Amino acid sequence: MSKSLVFNKIPLEEIETGMSVRYSQTITDADVKAFAGISGDRNPVHLDEKYAKSSRFKNRIAHGMMTASYFSALFGTKIPGEGCVYTHQSLNFKKPVFINDTVEAVVTVTEVDIEKRRVKFKTVCKVDNKIVTDGEAELYVPVEFKKIMINDKNELLKYKTQILELFEHSFGSKMDENLWNWAYINNPNENPIVSLYYDGEKLVGHYAVIPIKFIHNQKNLNAVLSMTTMVNSAYRKYGIFIEQANEVYDKATELGYKFVCGFPNKKSAPGFKKRLDWTLEEGLYIANFSYDELQQLDKKTYSSSISFNTQDKENLEWRLSKPNQNYFKNVKNILKEFEGNFDIVFNGVDFSNLDRDKKYNLLLDHSLDKYLDKKEFDYIFGYRLFDISLDGLEFKKDLIISDVF
């Protein structure tokens, strides 16, 4: 290889034991002085002719670390190539290198660990075919993802097959295509925001939000609902989810959405709180009531709360058209049959017109912990505000927000 290094990158999967690259450079007086300035090592054996002549070397010598730096040049530009990171280097300095010596650096692959994304090398520098420096190195090769941000339904359709395949890989079951179309394509509240990460041609990460309308003091609030977080199991150690989510939130803020919300499960909730700055309300639970018990329920006023916008006809009609579900309205309540009971998916507060011989599931918050004996299971609601003017307002939590997938 000539003195001029040309940038190159070899994919980790193509690196094999025995691969070798080399680089040669003639040490000049200017190189030694420049390295002394950069490193701070102004030892006179490198810089002072008179001092050097009285030393055991009889002439000025180059810094040992200068020759070792040629290994870094090869790693960063040839193999593995740009983006790689040093994790280890051992060095043995065997012979001095003098000004005007031509140093040839050679690195040879000795081991490749695909799982840990580590590559080990034998490292050797020679002058006149005699070893002056040798050692061993280890490099980490980060994954570089191709990132696609989609905010157009027609564009999203191009990736539908791969998204459904990643869903099956992530959750062990197929996603209903009609459900996907309903949430992402048939949603009347503008376009979804979807981040896709690819390793080569393979889709490995997906984070999305869909637009949904809320209301506060009779004013519409455009918001987004967090949806189907998916990362291929082999890539879950790279922080893809956090990176994708923040990129999506930046886009949502740019588009004027007021907040993102959702109902993370217990496993993912800590990540939303710690790494994505979500506010979590973890004291929620689903309780089961008879008709008579509902009538005795403490009535809570939600007039000043942020709630799902049932007044927007398109928003409500779309929401109640979810495939394979049968929602129905009962005065101000919205219900859905579930395993012989009825979920109150939108709490209209007045339950007097409900059927007397049925049982009802209702989402309650921690302020109504007196009904914990009726609890079926816990629930978590969370959100992150993009509009800080909403800080301090209460959310009305209803299953109509959660019951999407």
Residue 3 included in any domain: no
Domain identity same for 118 and 241: no
Domain identity same for 151 and 100: no
Residue 7 included in any domain: no
Domain boundary among 89, 110, 140: 140
pLDDT digits (tens, 9 = 90+) for 91-117: 999 999 999 999 999 999 999 998 889
Domain encompassing residue 393: 143-405
Residue 197 included in any domain: yes
> How does the average pLDDT of the chain come out, rounded?
93
Full 3-state SS string of 8-31: CECCHHHCCCCCEEEEEEECCHHH
Domain identity same for 36 and 75: yes
C-alpha–C-alpha distance, residues 362 and 375, integer Å: 9
Residue 311 included in any domain: yes
Domain identity same for 75 and 206: no
Domain identity same for 46 and 103: yes
Cβ–Cβ < 8 Å for 149, 245:
no
Domain identity same for 152 and 134: no
Domain identity same for 208 and 333: yes
Q: Using 50, 70 and 90 to split pLDDT, how confident is the model at 3?
A: very low
Residue 54's CATH number: 3.10.129.10
Residue 1 included in any domain: no
Domain identity same for 93 and 174: no
Domain identity same for 161 and 224: yes
How many residues does the structure list for the chain?
A: 405
Report how many domains make up the chain. Answer: 2
Contacts of 115 (CB under 8 A, 6+ apart): none
Domain identity same for 251 and 399: yes
Domain identity same for 157 and 302: yes
pLDDT digits (tens, 9 = 90+) for 29-61: 999 999 999 999 999 999 999 999 999 999 999
**Can you spell out the DSSP letters for 189-252?**
SS--EEEEEEETTEEEEEEEEEEEEEEETTEEEEEEEEEEEEE-GGGTTS-HHHHHHHHHHHHH
pLDDT digits (tens, 9 = 90+) for 115-174: 889 999 999 999 999 999 999 999 999 888 999 999 999 999 999 999 999 999 999 999
pTM comes to 0.75
Domain identity same for 183 and 73: no
Tell whether omega for the bond before 80 is within 30 degrees of 0, i.e. cis. yes
Residue appearing with tokens 């939600």: 302
